[in-house]
Amino acid sequence: MKIEVRADGLHISGYVNVTGKLSRPVVTPRGKVLETIEERAFDEAIRKSGDVTVQLDHDAGHVYARTSDNSLALREDAIGLHADVLITDKTIIEIARKGKLRGWSFGMYNVGDEMESRADGELPIRHIKSLMLDHISLIKDKVPCYAATSVEYRADEAVDIEQRALDIAPELHISYENKTDYTGYEERIRKL
Span 105-132, pLDDT tens digits: 888 999 999 999 998 889 999 999 999 9
User: CA nearest 24: which of 161, 139, 121, 145?
Assistant: 145
Q: Is 45 helix (H, G, I), strand (E, B) or coil?
A: helix
137 vs 85: CA distance, rounded Å: 11
Q: Comparing 164 with 110, which gets the higher pLDDT?
A: 110
CB atoms within 10 A of CB 155: 5
User: CA nearest 109: which of 15, 175, 45, 17?
Assistant: 45
11 vs 138: CA distance, rounded Å: 12
Which range is least confidently modeled, 105-109, 127-131, 148-152, 159-163?
A: 148-152
179 vs 192: CA distance, rounded Å: 25
Q: How confident is the model at residue 76 (pLDDT cuts 50, 70, 90)?
A: very high
Mean predicted lDDT score pLDDT of the chain: 80
